[in-house]
Structure 1
Amino acid sequence: MGWFGKRGSSRPVEEPPSRDAVPVSAPAKPAPKPHDPLREQVESAGLPPEILDAARGECDRLESVDPASPEYAISLNFLEVILSLPWNNVTRDNLDINRAEQVLGARHHGLRKVKDRVLEFLAVKSLCARRNPRILLVDDELIARENLTIVFEADGFEVEAVGNGLEAVAAMEREPANIVVSDLKMEGMDGMELLQVLRKRWPDTKVIMITGYATVKTAVDAMRQGADQYLGKPVNLTKLRSLVAELWEQSLRAQHLRGFVLCFTGPPGMGKTSIGRAIAEALGRKFMRLSLAGLRDEAELRGHRRTYVGAMPGRIIQGIRKAGTRNPVIMLDEVDKAVQDFQGDATAVLLEMLDAEQNHAFVDHYLGLPFDLSNVLFICTANGVERLPAPLRDRLEVIEFPSYTPAEKRSIATQYLIPDLLRQHGLDDRLVSVPEETAGALIAGYTREAGLRGLRQQVASLCRKLAKLVLAEDLGAVTVDVPMLHELLGAPPFASTPAQTRPKVGLATSLVWTDNGGEIIFVEAARMQGSKQLILTGSLGEVLRESAQTALSYCRSHADLFGIDPDFYAVSDIHVHIPAGAVPKEGPSAGVAITIALLSLLTGRPVRQDVASTGELSLLGEVLSVGGVREKLMAARAAGITVVVLPKGCEGMVRSVEDEVLEGLDIRFVSTMEEAAGVALCDAATPDRSA
C-alpha cells in the first residue's frame, strides 16, 4: 500500500483544495484583534502545542478581565513568563574531549581521578551524539519507499527501505533501527504482525503505523499493540517528519540520559563548584549555581501556585529563564545541607527533577505546565552523602574528591594561589617572591585542612601584610623566607604530631581520618589494682568505647595465646586514654591500636614507635577493613612513621593510591590480631630493635 494513495483503489485520492475554495461548513477563524501585540507574540513564539493552547486560553481570559483588576496583572505576568522561557532554545554541545581535558587541566591541579571520570562522562555523550539515527521504512510500493528515503536522508537519517514485514525482521536482525515507519496492509507479514514481533524482540524501537484504511478501530488496535504513533493516508509529510524527530529525541533521552546524576562529595575547599563551572565551559553551555543550604520549602524550587499573592516560578525555572537555554549546566550546591525536619523534606522535589524517567515533564507550580528538564546537566555537591535520603542517593553517581597531598598544595600555592592573590593585592613577582620552602612552611604551620580554602585565606593575609610593608617602608624586591613568614603571621598555630622516638610499654600509635584529613593519635593503657573496671577517657564516642571493650574481651579470651595471666582482670582496673581530651573522637579505626596497647601492657613487650596501625577488630580477632586509607597514609608519612599495619581488605584501596603517598612506607597487610601484634610488639629482650 503506498503512503500517498493506492493506485487502482476504489478510495479516491484527496486533491488539495484550491486557494480560492472556502469550506461551507467550517466557520472562518476570528481574525486577531488589531493592535493586540501580546497575542501576536504568543502566536509567533513557536511554543509547543500544549503550551500554545494554554497561552491562547490566557489571552482569551485577559480580554474579558478589567485591566484595573488584580487578575489582569496575574494573567499578564503569567504570559510574560511563558514567552520568556526558552522552550526551543538549545545550546549546541562542544564535545571535543581534548579541549575539555585542556580546560579541566588549566583550571585545576591534581584531582586526576575526578577529571578522568568527568572526561568519561563527556566521552559517552560524544559517542552518542555522533551516531546517525537509523530509520527503517516498510512498504510494498517502491515509489513510496524511494520518495521517503530521499526525504529522511536529507534530514540526516540512515535509511533502509524494505517491501514487507518479513524483510523488515531480517533487516532488524542485521542492524536494529531506532525508528520503524510501516504500512499496515502488506503481503507475507502485514504491519500488525510486524508490530507484534518488534515489541517482543526490539521493545525500545519506536514505531509509526500508516494505513489508507484509517478507522478508529484500526488506530486503537495499533496503539494497543504498542505503536508509538498512527497516521492515515494521504500522508502529511510535515507531520510525519515532526513525529519522527520527536520520537528520535525521546529515543536519545532514553539512551544517554538514563544514567545517574553526578554528585561531587568531599571536604570544603576542594574545588567542587569550580570543576562544575569548568564542565560547563568545556561543553560550551551556560552555567547556573543554586545553593540549597538551609532550604526549607520545596516551593523555593518548584514555585508557588498562582492563587497566592506574589506567586512566582521556582528557582529552577527562574534560572533556566535567565540562562536563555533549556540545556544549561545546573549545579545544586550543598545538597546535604537542605533542611529535613518534621515540617517536611525540601530535598523530595529533587527526586522528580533528577530522575531521567520523570524530568522530561517537570511541572512548576506557578506554570502548571510541563517543562522538559531532560536536557539539563545536573551536578550536585555535598560534603558528605550520609545525610541524603536513600531514594535521592540512589539517583546520584557519587564522585569523591580526595584530599590534596602536601606536594599538590605546594604546587597549587606557588603556581596559582600566590601569584593570583599577589595581583589582587597590587603586588607582583617583581616586588614580592615567595619560595617553595616558605609555601611549605605556610601549609604545614598555618593550615590544617584537606582542601585549599584556609590556605587561600592565609595567603591573602600574608599579601595584605606585605602590601602594607612595601608601601610603608618603600622596600624594593622582597623575598619572603620562613623567619619573615613567622614574623608577619605570628607563631604557627598548628604543629604536626611526630611519632615517638623509642619503644614504650602500653603506648600504641593509630591512624585515623578526620574532616581535615588523616591524623595520628596515641593510645595509652595503664593497669592498677582494682576491681574489674575499664576506664575510658579522652572524649571517646560510643563506637570507640565499644572498640575498647572488644579489645579487652579479646585480650582476656586469648590470654593463653599471648602468655598473659588468665586472672589478670580479677584484681585490676584497666585505664585506656587517648590524649587531646578536648577533641571528640569517634569511629572503629582505633580498634587494632587499642588492642596492641593492651597486649603491650599485659605482656610487658614494648610497642615499636615507628609502627602505626588502623583497622577494626572483631571479637574473634579478625582485623576488618576501614576507610580513609589514602589520608591515613599521608598522615603516617608526615609524622615520620615507616611501617603501617593495614587490614588485608584494604589492599585494593592501597593499589589506587599515588606512588607519591606510598613513598618511604612499608605497608604490612594483616588478617588477624595475632599478625598485627607480631609486627607492632617488640621482643621483651630487645626492645630497641627497628625491624
Structure 2
Amino acid sequence: MSDSKIDTPVNTHLPETLPVCPVRGSVIYPSMVMPIDAGRPVSIRAIDAALAQERVILIVSQRDKDVEEPSGSDLYEVGTACNILRMRKNADGSVQMLVQAFARARVETFTQEDGYLSAKVTRIEEEEGRATELKALFREVKERFERLLKEGKYLTPEVAQFILNLEDPSQLADYITFHLDFKLEDKQRVLETASAIERLKRVAILLDAELDLLETQRRIQQQVKDEVDKNQREFYLREQMKAIQRELGGEEGEMEVEEFREKIAALQLPENVRPEVERELNRFARMHPDSAEASVVRTYLDWIVSLPWNIRTEDQIDLKQAKAILDEDHYGLEKVKDRVLEYLAVRKLKLERAKKGEVAAEEVAKGPILLFVGPPGVGKTSIAKAIAKSLGRKYHRISLGGARDESDIRGHRRTYIGALPGRVIQGLRQAGSKNPVFLLDEVDKLGAGYQGDPAAALLELLDPAQNKEFTDHYLGVPFDMSEVLFICTANFPENIPGPLMDRMELIEFTSYIEQEKLEIAKRYLLPRQLSENGLKENQVVVTEAALNRLITHYTREAGVRNLEREIGTLLRKAARVILEEGKKRVRITDGDLEKYLGPARHMPESEAREPQIGVATGMFYTPVGGDIMFIETSVMPGKGQLILTGQLGEVMKESARAALSYAKKNAARLGIPLEKFDNSDVHIHVPAGAVPKEGPSAGIALTASLVSALAEVPVRNDVSMTGEITLTGRVLPIGGVKEKVLGARRAGIREVILPKQNEPDLSDIPAYLRHNLRFHFAENLDQALDWALVGGAQHMTHKPAQPVRKPRRPKVQPAARA
C-alpha cells in the first residue's frame, strides 16, 4: 500500500481542463471536506492524472448509478471542483482520497483521455441577492430544519449542531441538502443553482415535503399501533372467552366457529356480503353453543356456506346437438323448437364475443325470460329440461301453483321461529350452481293473500336489470341471480299480472292434433309403457287403427297424458292375458278396445245428415282441441222476444242480439217479412246445455241459423263456419283457427267459412290435412250467408209479392123457358 499526504494550503485556482471522477448516488458541495473511495479503473486513472497535474479533480454525479463505465452523456453537466488533500492506494488496487471542494463548475465538453474522462469547465460564480430576503430565507430554512430534527429525523448530534451553527446562508443550504435523504435529482438541482436565495427556496420546499412525509408516516404508525392494540385486545378477550367456554365444556363450539371461519374464507364472498356474514360469525363466537340464539345463527351460517356463491357450470352450446336433444324427446312443436334454438344461437355468439373481449361478461347472462304458454300435457316442462341438457346446466323446478305468500319467493325474516330462505334460494342450494336453469311452473296460478302478493315478489327476480342484487329476507344480503336462466310456464296468460307479463317473452304451445298424437304414441308413449309394464317390444302389438280410435273415442285432451294412461291400461290388460292364458304375443286392434277398456267415452260430433232450416254448424275451440257444434233457431208465434238457452256467456248473447238486429235491418233484402219480427218469438239454443259457452266467434253461425229460420231457407249441412260479426255486417277475425278447422275435418265437414283476415293462419295447418277441405274467406255477412244457405244468394234476394186477382163471378144463364 502506498500513501500520499499533502499538507499544503488549499488551492482555489480552477484550471480550464480537469480530470473527471464519476461518483454514484451522492453530490459534493463547495467548502466540504469528504473522503472518497474509488475502485473503478476510470476513476483511478482520473485521480492519477489529477495528482500528476495540479491536484484538482472534478467530482460529477452519474445519472444512472448502475452504469459501470460512464461516458459524458451518463454524467450531469454540473460538478464540484475539489483539491485532493490525501490519497492512499489499497492492496486490492482501490484508492481512498480525501478531497476539499471549493467551487461549482459547469462542464462545457467531455473528452475521453487515456482511459479516463476529462472536461473543459467554467466556474459558476455565487450570486448573493438582496440581503433582507436572504436573511429571512436563512431563518426560515433553519427553523424548518429544527422542526425536522424535533419530529425525529435522525442526525448525529455533532452534525446537527454543526449545521445549526452555520452563519453562511449558502453553506446552510448545501450542508442541509447533503445530510438529508433527498433524491439525487433534488441534490443535483441545488448544486446547479448559483443564487443563494434560489438555493434556500429549493431547500425550504424540500424540507416542507419531508415534514409532510414525516407527519403522514407518524399518522400511519399511530393507526397501525391502534389497530395492533385493538387486535391484541380482541385476541386477549377471545382467548379469555375460549378458556371460559372450555371450562363450561364448549370445545366443540370453538371448533365449530373455526370451521365456519375457514369455510367463509374459502367462499370469496362479494364485498357487500362479507361484512354482514363476518358480523354474524363474530356474534356466534361470543354465544354459548347451547343457547337458542346460537342455534338460529348456526342455521344462518349453514345456509351461507352451502350456497354456490362462485360455483358455476360452463355453457357448452352445440346447435346440432341441441336440435338432436329437442327432437329426441319431442315430436312437432316446430315453432317452439325454432325459438329455443334461436335463443341458444344468440347466447353462443355472445359467449364467443365475450372470450375475445368485445363485450362484457355481464352481457352474456342477459337475455329474455321465456314464458311457455299452453294447455296441460303438451311438453312445456320437458322442453325446459331439454334446454338445460343442451346447455350443460343444472336444472331445478319450482312449482308456484297455489302459492299465496310472498315468503315463498323471498323467504322469512330471521326474527321468526323456524324461518327459512325462499324457494328460489333453496333451489340454488339444491342445484349446487350459480347459473342453473330454473323452471317456475304454473305462474298463472299464483294467489294473493294477507301475507303479501308472490307475483309482486317475482318482479325483481325476473327483471334482468334488478336481479343482480336479489335480496332474500332470510339471508339479508344480496345474491347475484343474473346468471340464472328463468323459464316460466302457464296455462292461461290472462291470469298473469301485467307488470310481470311485461318482463317475459311469450312462446305459445298449441294443442296436439290427432296425427301428432298418433306419432307421439308410436314413438314415445308405447315403448315407454312397454318398459314400465315389464313387457318386451314384440310381446304386445297395438295397431295404428287401435291407437287412432284410442285417441278419438277414449281421450279428449290437448296433450298426451291421458293417452299414455290409457295405453298403460291396455298393456296391463295384455300382460295379464299373457300370464293367465299362456300367450307369447298379444295383438290389440281397434275392435279389441271395448273388450279391454269398455265402451267409448267420447263420441266426436259428426256433420248433420241433411240440410235443415234453422240449424247451422259452428266451430269452437277448447284447450283440449277443436270441434263443431250445432246452433238451432226456432221461430214461433209470440210478441217479438229473443230467447237464448244453452248456458251462453254474455259475449255470445251479445252476438245473438247483433245477429237479430242485422236480420231486422236487412229483412227486405233477405226476404223476411217485417211483421214476422213483431208477431213471433225467436228461440236460439245451443245443445250440450250443461257446458258453458262463451266467445264472439259464433257470430256467423248464429246469423246463418237465425236468417235460415226467419227466411225458411235451409242451411247447408256440409259447411261449418266461425267468425265475429258487427251490426253493419262486417266479419272480424278470431283465434284458434287450427284447432277449429281440424275439429271440423274430423267431423266430416268439407267446406269451412273463415274471416278473410284469418287466411294467413292456415299456414299453421299441414298441407296434407288441408288438401281435401275447401275454404271460403268472408269479409261480410252477405258472402258468408251466400255460402252457408242452400241455393246461395238467390234465396237472399227479396221477391216482390204478386198482386192478388179477384175471381170473376160466373155468368148466370137465363132460365129456359118451357
| Interval of TM-score (by shorter of Structure 1 and Structure 2) | 0.7 to 0.9
Contact 1:630 1:661 in 2 (8 A): no
Cα separation, partners in 2 of 1:25 and 1:662, compared to 1, 3 Å: same
- 1:108: how far off? 0.6
Corresponding position: 1:113 with 2:225: no
Amino acid at match of 2:498: A
SS in 1 for 2:676: coil
Contact 1:362 1:370 in 2 (8 A): yes
CA deviation string 1:349-377 (max 9, x = no partner) = 11111011111100000001000111111
Contact 1:614 1:647 in 2 (8 A): yes
Match of 1:309 among 411, 417, 432: 417
Corresponding position: 1:649 with 2:761: no
Amino acid at match of 1:107: D
Amino acid at match of 1:102: A
SS in 1 for 2:678: coil
* Matching residue of 1:123: 345
* Matching residue of 2:725: 617
CA deviation string 1:435-488 (max 9, x = no partner) = 111111111110111110110111111122112221111112111111222211
**In 2, distance between residues paired with 1:105 and 1:494?**
31
Corresponding position: 1:281 with 2:389: yes
* Matching residue of 2:361: 249
Cα separation, partners in 2 of 1:429 and 1:686, compared to 1, 3 Å: farther
Amino acid at match of 1:127: L
Cα separation, partners in 2 of 1:685 and 1:377, compared to 1, 3 Å: closer
* Matching residue of 2:493: 385
Corresponding position: 1:564 with 2:676: no
- 1:8: how far off? 9.2
CA deviation string 1:182-203 (max 9, x = no partner) = xxxxxxxxxxxxxxxxxxxxxx
**In 2, distance between residues paired with 1:596 and 1:401?**
33
SS in 2 for 1:347: helix
- 1:591: how far off? 0.9
**In 2, distance between residues paired with 1:157 and 1:120?**
23
- 1:249: how far off? 3.4
Unaligned runs of 5+ in 2: 1-183, 187-204, 214-219, 240-253, 796-818
- 1:132: how far off? 4.1
* Matching residue of 1:445: 553
Contact 2:538 2:585 in 1 (8 A): yes
- 1:250: how far off? 3.8
Cα separation, partners in 2 of 1:350 and 1:427, compared to 1, 3 Å: same
- 1:648: how far off? 1.2
**In 2, distance between residues paired with 1:8 and 1:50?**
45
CA deviation string 1:581-600 (max 9, x = no partner) = 12111111111101001111
Match of 1:485 among 593, 602, 610: 593
Match of 1:54 among 276, 281, 298: 276
* Matching residue of 1:292: 400
Contact 1:540 1:585 in 2 (8 A): yes
Cα separation, partners in 2 of 1:352 and 1:38, compared to 1, 3 Å: same
* Matching residue of 1:596: 704
SS in 2 for 1:645: strand
* Matching residue of 1:266: 374
Cα separation, partners in 2 of 1:419 and 1:44, compared to 1, 3 Å: closer
Once the two structures are superposed, the pairs formed by residues 214-253 of structure 1 within 5 Å of their partners are: 248-253=360-365
Amino acid at match of 1:88: N
CA deviation string 1:570-611 (max 9, x = no partner) = 100111111111211111111110100111112222111111
- 1:684: how far off? 7.9
Corresponding position: 1:358 with 2:470: no
Contact 2:640 2:680 in 1 (8 A): yes
Identity of paired residues, percent? 45
SS in 2 for 1:508: strand
Match of 2:656 among 538, 548, 555: 548
Match of 1:85 among 295, 307, 312: 307
Amino acid at match of 1:87: W
SS in 2 for 1:118: helix
CA deviation string 1:39-69 (max 9, x = no partner) = 1222222111222222211121112222222
CA deviation string 1:309-328 (max 9, x = no partner) = 11111110011011111110
- 1:552: how far off? 0.5
* Matching residue of 1:171: none
TM-score (norm 2): 0.66
Contact 1:605 1:684 in 2 (8 A): no
TM-score (norm 1): 0.78
* Matching residue of 1:473: 581
Corresponding position: 1:39 with 2:261: yes
**In 1, distance between residues paired with 2:480 and 2:429?**
13
- 1:157: how far off? 3.6
SS in 2 for 1:50: coil
Amino acid at match of 1:68: D
**In 2, distance between residues paired with 1:130 and 1:660?**
42
**In 2, distance between residues paired with 1:684 and 1:120?**
49
SS in 2 for 1:576: strand
* Matching residue of 2:12: none
Match of 1:638 among 736, 746, 751: 746
Once the two structures are superposed, the pairs formed by residues 104-253 of structure 1 within 5 Å of their partners are: 104-132=326-354, 157=357, 248-253=360-365
Match of 1:94 among 312, 316, 323: 316
Corresponding position: 1:525 with 2:747: no
**In 2, distance between residues paired with 1:274 and 1:65?**
49
Bigger mean CA offset, 483-492 vs 629-638: 483-492
Unaligned runs of 5+ in 1: 1-6, 16-21, 134-155, 159-177, 179-247
* Matching residue of 1:367: 475
Match of 1:69 among 291, 294, 316: 291
Contact 1:604 1:684 in 2 (8 A): no
Contact 1:606 1:684 in 2 (8 A): no
**In 2, distance between residues paired with 1:357 and 1:654?**
39
Greater C-alpha radius of gyration: 2
SS in 2 for 1:668: strand
Query: How many matched pairs?
Result: 559
